[in-house]
């Protein structure tokens, strides 16, 4: 699996970081099968970034929206519109929190992107439906499972404290695991607070690659969590603004300091927009290979 970090910003775009958008590229059963793409969240600018980096909208097999904060789905509608203009014909599956699907569908209608006009079918699926068992197997033999997390617990508490009608909100937020031919990738999505990585304890390891957010999780607390865990490489993304200007090696040093004497068996690095890493099998994960321009 090739993982391209199109956007690595936190909740607000930064001068050198676009909104959170990750592309997982896989091949199918046969060596001659064309690559297919899975999008993990679609921050603003996602469609333009796909074009910039030579990623074909028509080859997107599925899109996963981990939660309904706008920085994780703000670019979705333009991705769908661009796919229409590029004459996509194959079905596209979008997995999202059940509470957000009607709103996203209504937004498409409000944008004059009616199902009959798109030229390709969209199948909407609730992420809650892929939280049990083996999850869902996508074309390209990629198995994806969603894992509920407590990222939106703060929002739920605020509604309760202010006595605001939540109109039936379910405050859904998810992490994801992706597996293909023995390769295992974990995507944190957004977590709950400085020690939010603890939420991944039941499913994070073993992993060939952990993609972990640094918008809410504290680097030192992350190091404590990673200590001794069999994770071949951890790549940090969704970088909080207060880390801008801080050298990558200093942030990585904080992660290692948090692990103490136990240490972190695998590598830790920060992602930059446009960088790619290739997950193969444990201990042979290729590092970042630079910008895919």
**31-82: per-residue pLDDT in tens?**
556 779 999 999 999 999 999 999 999 999 999 999 999 999 999 999 999 9
> DSSP strand E in 27-180: where?
36-42, 60-64, 92-96, 122-126, 136-138, 142-148, 174-180
Residue-wise pLDDT tens digits, 240-259: 999 989 999 999 999 999 99
Question: Which token pair is 48?
Answer: 């333009």
* Domains of the chain and any CATH numbers: 2-278 (3.60.15.10)
Give kind and range of the element (H or E) at residue 110: helix 101-110
The pLDDT score that the predictor gives to residue 289 is: 47
pLDDT at position 139 is: 83
Q: Residue 95 and residue 98: Cα distance in Å, rounded?
A: 9
pLDDT tens digits, 189-237: 999 999 999 999 999 999 999 999 999 999 999 999 999 999 999 999 9
219 contacts 269 by C-beta, under 8 angstroms: no
* Closest-CA residue to 18 (of 176, 214, 237, 188): 237
Which of 14, 2, 1 has the alpha carbon at shortest distance from 272? 14
């Amino acid at each position: 699996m090739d993982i391209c970090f199109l956007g690595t910003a936190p909740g607000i775009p930064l001068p050198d970081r676009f909104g959170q958008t990750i592309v997982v590229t896989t091949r199918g059963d046969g060596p001659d099968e064309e690559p297919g793409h899975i999008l993990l969240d679609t921050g603003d600018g996602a469609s333009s970034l796909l074009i910039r980096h030579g990623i074909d909208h028509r080859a997107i097999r599925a899109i996963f929206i981990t939660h309904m904060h706008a920085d994780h789905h703000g670019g979705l509608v333009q991705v769908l519109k661009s796919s229409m203009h590029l004459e996509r014909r194959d079905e596209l599956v979008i997995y999202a929190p059940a509470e957000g699907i009607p709103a996203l569908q209504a937004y498409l209608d409000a944008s004059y992107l009616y199902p009959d006009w798109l030229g390709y079918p969209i199948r909407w699926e609730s992420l809650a439906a892929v939280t049990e068992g083996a999850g869902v197997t996508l074309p390209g033999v990629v198995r994806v499972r969603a894992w509920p997390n407590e990222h939106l617990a703060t929002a739920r508490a605020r509604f309760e404290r202010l006595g605001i009608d939540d109109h039936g909100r379910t405050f859904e937020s998810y992490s994801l695991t992706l597996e293909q031919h023995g390769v295992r990738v974990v995507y944190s999505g957004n977590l709950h607070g400085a020690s939010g990585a603890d939420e991944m304890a039941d499913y994070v390891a073993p992993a060939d690659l952990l993609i972990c957010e640094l918008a809410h999780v504290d680097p030192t607390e992350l190091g404590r969590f990673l200590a001794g865990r069999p994770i071949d490489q951890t790549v940090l993304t969704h970088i909080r603004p207060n880390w801008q200007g801080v050298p990558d090696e200093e942030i990585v040093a904080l992660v290692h300091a948090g692990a103490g004497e136990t240490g972190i068996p695998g590598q830790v690095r920060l992602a930059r927009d446009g960088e790619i890493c290739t997950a193969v099998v444990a201990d042979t994960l290729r590092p970042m290979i630079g910008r895919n321009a």
